[in-house]
């Protein structure tokens, strides 16, 4: 239990630049060290350490039985994890890329999401499904999908996506510790983003289901998560020159959805733009905009807008930058809120 | 572009591939082409009389259970029942070969196996009654929820058996699937995982001739389902699924093999579904009465009864005794199923997550208000209704 003490942040250790990938790997390692029930399984997670090296060193430290290279079969991997969880283990499954998870969707939708409900609470499944997701790294087709809407639409699953190094560690620890299944979406273009972070004294992270205001502001709220957070932060800084003081809310968790934090922000600012790179039609933004409208209608001075990826299959890498919502597109949306500059 | 034009081609010296060497000799993995039989053969002489009598009593009860459950659908007490009439030998054997610590992974047609394993018949029927998805605690009975999606329970069996072995527990998982289910991808993935991991699992394919209406010839081109085993590197066994003694022996050997750490086995039981797919299905659209008659002569209950009577182990009195016990079971089931289950609609929100999300709390409040309003209306009219 030495790592448990370490994770409370009781000791202060010097923070050095660390990547999100390193923080995720450390979260896996600490979870495995703390709880022998935690098992990592997937394709290439052992000897290779995962194609993104998130599981690097785990097989060496904990053995092949705790960090297992499986046959290449996503339904089999997740299906086996269901059985392992039924026997009291806490499997953490890696789906190598977003679109590679699709063969496992039946297992996810029909069993992982529903087992607690089907058995009236007798058999919860504490499974974490790690899925690197989203574009922006020049991946060829089937390597850049943003599938969060499918998971959000499936009752019984938690859907979590970190955008910072601190959250990558804290939310993955919380997901593995959760008695409910968690789809843990890792924004792969942020894998190499850095922050000062100490593995010996990681920051406290709120439990799953709390959004956070990353940048306070008074003029409008940008609501975002995962890979689009840095875009929104940059847009908010750029907007200062135009006299716009944008608030940025990082959802961190799509299910459960933190209505309170989002509504409180929009009531303060009166205007909202939802930003994500998943498709707009049928995407998370529609749900979020509807929830805001239901709660904040009398506070709104403009319709809730969405800035999303186009409603197209994910494009080839040479043109993906035109598809991904960037700073300019966010600022255009802010302008469409029929802005009246303050002061 | 020729090879010479490739950069670095001069240094390229292809090495010949190593001679192909199969990892194992496939011969011991292959099933005998004829389904294994005990009843009516010399092997029957070696069978344990006590076991045979127990199998007989269970078969008679099992048949009566199938008939009773089908009758309950006609009375509206069960939403649906996929009968295993004709397949009782498979169901009973699957239940009896397992130790208490072992796990059963049934498909939706295997209610009888769960009951034969000791599950309360009413709890076993909750899914099909429509009041609850799973009426029992799977951990308590070591029976996974009856699985409606096809073959998806097979990887669960593999994962559970694997986990048990990692924990050092002496546990075997037996997973049941139909002939149609073998065409699903999860069947392949589960068998492959089990073989690679040498997981203590027994896969039982009940080949009952039809996947709803689609006959065997349109389901597979393999010589038998048991032949598929060799491709995964596990033994395949072909057995007469209507021969309870043969089923018990073959499944028992497979379970023992798994327990010894020698890995999984694929057992194909050749049997026949005497009833329609479910009570909602019209089997006359895809098969004739004379097709079914051929199999009626090979009925699992009759086969065992004939063997035991011929050997003087069973007489009219004992047959009557088994029938009476089955009638008592059916009467008790009828009576208990005639009681209306009491359901609390607020339970809809109880087991979605460990802790309700804000969204579910709001929805629960809404339903509570609806129910209160309903109660109030009901109260107003209660006197008129005489309730």
Measured between alpha carbons, how far is B387 from B383 in angstroms, rounded to an integer? 6
User: Contact A278/A284 with Cβ under 8 angstroms?
Assistant: yes
**Which ipTM did the prediction report?**
0.92
Residue B25 has pLDDT above 90, yes or no: no
Say whether pLDDT at A6 is over 60.
Answer: no
B77 — pLDDT class (breaks 50, 70, 90): very high
Nearest to A80 among B137, B145, B158 (CB): B158
For the beta sheet containing A182-187, the strands, ordered from the edge strand earlier in sequence to the opposite edge, are A67-69, A38-42, A90-94, A128-133, A182-187, A158-160, A253-255
Residues of A in contact with B138 (CB under 8 A): 86, 119, 122-123
Give per-residue pLDDT as tens, A122-156.
999 999 999 999 999 999 999 999 999 999 999 99
Say what the pLDDT of residue A38 is: 98
Encode pLDDT of B173-203 as tens digits: 999 999 999 999 999 999 999 999 999 999 9
Q: Min CA distance, B163 vs chain A (Å)? A: 5
Cis before residue A256, ω within 30 degrees of 0?
A: yes
In angstroms, the separation between the Cα of residue A78 and the nearest Cα of chain B is 8
Residues A302 and A240: their CA atoms lie apart, in Å, by: 20
**Model confidence at A7, in pLDDT bands (50, 70, 90)?**
very low
**A174: Cβ contacts below 8 Å, ≥ 6 apart:** A205, A207, A208
* pLDDT higher than 60, residue A227: yes
B119, B133, B134, B189, best to mutate vs chain A, most A CBs in 10 Å? B189
In this complex, which of B157, B163, B359 lies closest to A256 when CB atoms are compared?
B359
Say if the Cβ atoms of B166 and A103 lie within 8 Å.
Answer: no
Q: What does B56-124 look like in DSSP terms, one character per residue?
A: HHHHHHHHHHHHHHHHHHHTTSSS-----TT-HHHHHHHHHTS-TTSEEE-BTT-HHHHHHTT--HHHH
User: For residue B259, what is the enclosing H or E element?
Assistant: helix B244-259
Q: How far, in Å, CA of A109 to CA of B105, rounded?
A: 19
User: Nearest CA of chain B to the CA of A262: how many Å?
Assistant: 13
Q: Do B159 and A155 touch (CB under 8 A)?
A: no
**Contact between chains at A89 and B352 (C-beta distance less than 8 A):** no
**Beta carbon pairs, A and B, within 8 Å:** 144
**CB distance B154–A79 less than 8 Å?**
yes
Integer Cα distance of B330 and B122 in angstroms: 11
Distance between CA B146 and CA B130 in Å, rounded?
A: 13
pLDDT at A158: 98
CB contact under 8 A, B192 and A76: yes
Is the separation of the CB atoms in A42 and A81 below 8 Å? no
Q: Do B134 and A87 touch (CB under 8 A)?
A: no
Contact between A106 and B152 using a beta-carbon 8 Å cutoff: yes
| Interface probe, candidates B128, B139, B148, B159, chain A, greatest A C-beta count within 10 A | B159
In this predicted structure, the answer to whether residue B21 has a pLDDT above a threshold of 70 is no
In the predicted model, is pLDDT for residue A64 greater than 50? yes
Does B386 have pLDDT greater than 60?
no
- Give residue A4's pLDDT: 40
Residue A132: beta bridge partners?
A186
- Chain B residue with CA closest to A111: the answer is B152
* Average pLDDT score over residue span A294-299: 97
Confidence label for A330 from pLDDT (cuts 50, 70 and 90)? very high
Q: Which residues of B touch A117 (CB under 8 A)?
A: 133, 351-352
Please report how many Cα atoms fall inside a 13 Å half-sphere around the Cα of residue B67, on the Cβ side. Answer: 12
Task: List strand residue ranges (DSSP E) for B99-254, in order.
Answer: 103-105, 173-178, 201-207, 210-211, 214-215, 236-240
3-state SS, residue A212: strand
**Could you list the active site residues of B?**
273, 277, 286
Give the residue from chain B lying closest to A113, CA to CA. Answer: B352
Phi and psi, residue B87, nearest 5°:
-110, 15
pLDDT recorded at residue A264:
98
User: E strands within chain A?
Assistant: 16-19, 38-42, 67-69, 90-94, 128-133, 158-160, 182-187, 194-197, 212-215, 220-224, 246-250, 253-255, 272-279, 305-309
Q: Which residues of B touch A258 (CB under 8 A)?
A: 358
The residues that bridge with B147 in the sheet, in sequence order, are B107
> Shortest CA distance to A147 belongs to which of A127, A128, A161, A163?
A161
Q: What is the pLDDT of residue B150?
A: 97
Mean pLDDT, range B82-110, rounded to an integer: 98
Put simply, the answer to whether B354 touches A178 (Cβ < 8 Å) is: yes
Contact A255 B186 (CB under 8 A): no
Q: What is the phi/psi pair of residue B75, to 5°?
A: -90, 5
Q: In this predicted model, what pLDDT tens digit does every residue of B217-248 receive, in sequence order?
A: 999 999 999 999 999 999 999 999 999 999 99
Contact state of B133 with A119 under an 8 Å Cβ cutoff:
yes
CA atoms within 13 A on the CB side of B139: 15
Q: Across the interface, do A86 and B160 touch by the CB < 8 Å criterion?
A: yes
Contacts with A116 from chain B: Cβ below 8 Å: 351-354
**pLDDT of res. A76:** 98
Confidence of residue A8 (pLDDT cuts 50, 70, 90): very low
* pLDDT (0 to 100) of residue A240: 96
Residue B22 has pLDDT above 70, yes or no: no
Contact list, B347 vs chain A (CB under 8 Å): 120
Of A75, A124, A256, nearest to B358 by CB-CB distance is A256
A65 vs B contacts (CB less than 8 Å): 166
**pLDDT number for residue B5:** 53
Q: How far apart are CA B274 and CA B301, in angstroms?
A: 13
CA distance A102 to chain B (A): 13
Other residues' Cβ atoms within 10 Å of the Cβ of residue A297: 9
Is there a contact between A79 and B351 if contact means CB atoms under 8 Å apart? no
Question: Among all residues of chain A, which has the CA nearest to that of B153?
Answer: A79
> Is B351's CB within 8 Å of A117's CB?
yes
Residue numbers in B near A71 (CB within 8 A) = 189, 192-193, 196
Average pLDDT over residues A327-331: 98
Please state, in angstroms and rounded to a whole number, the distance separating the CA atoms of residues B8 and B29.
46
Selected residue with higher pLDDT from B73 and A10: B73
Report the gap between the CA of B36 and the closest CA in chain A (Å): 31
Is residue A154 within 8 A of residue A144, CB to CB? The reply is no
- Higher confidence at residue B138 or residue A338? B138
- Mean pLDDT over each residue of chain B, to the nearest integer: 93
Q: Calculate Rg over the CA atoms of chain B.
A: 25
Residues A267-296: tens digit of each pLDDT:
999 999 999 999 999 999 999 999 999 999
Per-residue pLDDT for B309 more than 90? yes
Q: Is the pLDDT of residue A87 over 60?
A: yes
Beta pairing partners, A185: A131
Taking each helix axis from N to C terminus, what angle separates B49-74 and B244-259, rounded to the nearest 10 degrees? 110
Note the pLDDT of residue B26: 87
Q: What is the pLDDT of residue A24?
A: 98
User: How far apart (Å, rounded) are the C-alpha atoms in residues A193 and A207?
Assistant: 23
First to last CA, chain A: 56
Q: Which residue of A has its CA nearest to B187?
A: A76
**A107–chain B nearest CA distance, Å:** 7
User: Could you give the percent of chain B with pLDDT greater than 70?
Assistant: 92
| Average pLDDT of the segment spanning B360-379 | 94
Chain B residues whose beta carbon lies within 8 Å of the beta carbon of residue A80: 155-156, 158-159, 162, 193
User: Buried (b) or exposed (e) across B241-267, using 16+ Cβ within 10 A?
Assistant: bbbbbbbbbbbbbbbebbeeeebbbbb
Identify the pLDDT of residue A68: 97
Query: By C-alpha distance, which of A259, A268, A250, A269 is closest to A292?
Result: A259
Q: What is the mean pLDDT of residues B308-337?
A: 96
Contacts with B149 from chain A: Cβ below 8 Å: 106, 110-111
Mean pLDDT value of segment B154-170:
97
Shortest distance between the Cα of A175 and any Cα of chain B, in A, equals: 13
Q: Which residues of B touch A (CB under 8 A)?
A: 132-134, 136-140, 144-145, 149, 152, 154-164, 166-167, 173, 185-186, 189-190, 192-193, 196, 347, 350-354, 357-359
Q: Which residues contact A125 (CB under 8 A, 6 or more apart)?
A: A82, A85, A86, A111, A112, A115, A116, A180, A181
| CB pair distance less than 8 Å for B157 and A83 | yes
Please tell me what DSSP assigns to residue B134: -
pLDDT band at residue B127, thresholds of 50, 70 and 90? very high
User: Which residues of A are known catalytic residues?
Assistant: 143
Q: Which of B162, B185, B354 sits opposite A180 (nearest CB)?
A: B354
Mean pLDDT of B33-60: 95
- Can you read off the two tokens belonging to residue B384? 């008129």
B126-146 CB burial, b ≥16 within 10 A, e <16: bbbbeebbbbbebeebbbbbb
**Nearest residue in B to A103, CA atom:** B185
pLDDT interval class at B24 (50, 70, 90): confident
**What is the predicted pLDDT for the residue at A58?**
97
pLDDT band at B23 (very low <50, low <70, confident <90, very high): low
Asked whether residue A51 carries a pLDDT value surpassing 70, the answer given is yes
d(CA A106, CA A285): 25
Chain B residues within an 8 Å CB radius of A179: 354
Which residues of chain B does A122 touch, with a Cβ-Cβ cutoff of 8 Å? Answer: 134, 136-140
Can you give the pLDDT at residue A136? 95
């Amino acid at each position: 239990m030495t790592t448990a003490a370490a994770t409370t942040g009781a000791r202060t250790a010097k923070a050095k630049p660390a990547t999100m990938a390193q923080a995720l790997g450390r979260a896996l390692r600490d979870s495995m060290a703390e709880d022998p029930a935690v098992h990592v399984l997937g394709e290439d997670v052992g000897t290779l350490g995962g194609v993104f090296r998130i599981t690097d060193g785990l097989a060496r430290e904990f053995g092949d039985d705790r960090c297992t290279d499986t046959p290449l079969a996503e339904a089999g991997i997740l299906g086996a994890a269901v059985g392992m969880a039924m026997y009291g283990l806490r499997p953490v499954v890696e789906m190598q890329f977003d679109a590679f998870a699709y063969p496992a969707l039946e297992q996810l939708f029909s069993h992982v999401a529903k087992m607690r409900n089907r058995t009236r609470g007798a058999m919860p499944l504490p499974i974490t499904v790690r899925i690197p997701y989203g574009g922006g790294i020049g991946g060829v087709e089937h390597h850049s999908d943003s599938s969060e809407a499918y998971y959000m639409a499936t009752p019984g699953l938690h859907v979590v996506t970190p955008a910072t190094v601190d959250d990558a560690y804290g939310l993955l620890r919380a997901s593995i510790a959760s008695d409910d299944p968690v789809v843990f979406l890792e924004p792969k273009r942020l894998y190499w983003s850095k922050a000062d972070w100490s593995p010996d004294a990681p920051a406290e992270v709120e439990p799953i289901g709390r959004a956070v205001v990353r940048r306070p502001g008074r003029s409008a709220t940008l609501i975002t998560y995962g890979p689009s957070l840095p875009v929104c932060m940059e847009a908010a800084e750029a907007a200062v020159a135009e006299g716009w003081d944008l608030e940025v809310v990082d959802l961190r968790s799509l299910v459960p959805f933190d209505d309170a934090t989002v509504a409180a922000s929009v009531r303060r600012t009166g205007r909202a733009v939802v930003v994500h790179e998943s498709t707009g039609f049928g995407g998370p933004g529609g749900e979020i905009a509807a929830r805001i409208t239901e709660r904040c209608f009398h506070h709104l001075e403009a319709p809730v807008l969405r800035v999303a990826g186009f409603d197209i299959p994910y494009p080839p890498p040479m043109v993906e930058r035109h598809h991904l919502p960037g700073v300019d597109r966010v600022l255009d949306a802010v302008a469409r809120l029929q802005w009246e500059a303050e002061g | 572009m020729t090879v010479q034009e490739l950069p670095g081609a001069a240094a390229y010296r292809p090495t010949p591939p190593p001679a192909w060497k199969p990892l194992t000799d496939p011969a011991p993995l292959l099933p005998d082409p004829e389904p294994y039989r005990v009843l009516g053969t010399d092997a029957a002489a070696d069978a344990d009389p006590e076991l045979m009598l127990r199998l007989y009593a269970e078969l008679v009860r099992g048949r009566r259970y199938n008939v009773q459950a089908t009758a309950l659908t006609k009375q509206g007490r069960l939403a649906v029942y996929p009968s295993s009439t004709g397949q009782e030998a498979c169901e009973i054997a699957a239940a009896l070969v397992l130790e208490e610590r072992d796990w059963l992974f049934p498909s939706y047609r295997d209610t009888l196996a769960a009951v034969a394993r000791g599950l309360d018949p009413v709890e076993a029927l909750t899914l099909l009654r429509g009041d609850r998805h799973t009426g029992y605690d799977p951990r308590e009975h070591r029976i996974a929820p009856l699985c409606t999606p096809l073959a998806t329970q097979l990887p669960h069996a593999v994962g559970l058996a694997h986990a048990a072995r990692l924990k050092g527990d002496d546990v075997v998982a037996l997973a049941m699937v139909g002939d149609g289910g073998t065409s699903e991808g999860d069947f392949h993935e589960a068998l492959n995982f089990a073989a690679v991991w040498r997981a203590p699992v027994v896969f039982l394919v009940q080949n009952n001739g039809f996947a709803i209406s689609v006959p065997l010839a349109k389901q597979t081109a393999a010589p038998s389902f048991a032949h598929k085993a060799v491709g995964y590197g596990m033994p395949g066994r072909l057995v007469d699924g209507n021969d309870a003694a043969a089923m018990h022996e073959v499944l028992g050997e497979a379970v023992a093999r798994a327990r010894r750490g020698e890995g999984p086995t694929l057992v194909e039981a050749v049997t026949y579904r005497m009833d329609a797919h479910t009570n909602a299905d019209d089997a006359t659209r895809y098969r004739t009465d004379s097709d079914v008659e051929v199999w009626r002569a090979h009925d699992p209950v009759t086969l065992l009864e004939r063997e035991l009577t011929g050997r003087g182990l069973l007489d009219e009195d004992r047959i009557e005794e088994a029938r009476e016990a089955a009638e008592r079971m059916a009467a008790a089931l009828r009576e208990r199923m005639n009681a209306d289950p009491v359901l609390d609609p607020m339970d809809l929100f109880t087991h979605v997550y460990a802790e309700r999300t804000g969204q579910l709390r709001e929805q629960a409040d809404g339903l509570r208000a609806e129910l209160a309003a309903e109660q109030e209306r009901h109260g107003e009219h209660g006197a008129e209704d005489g309730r």
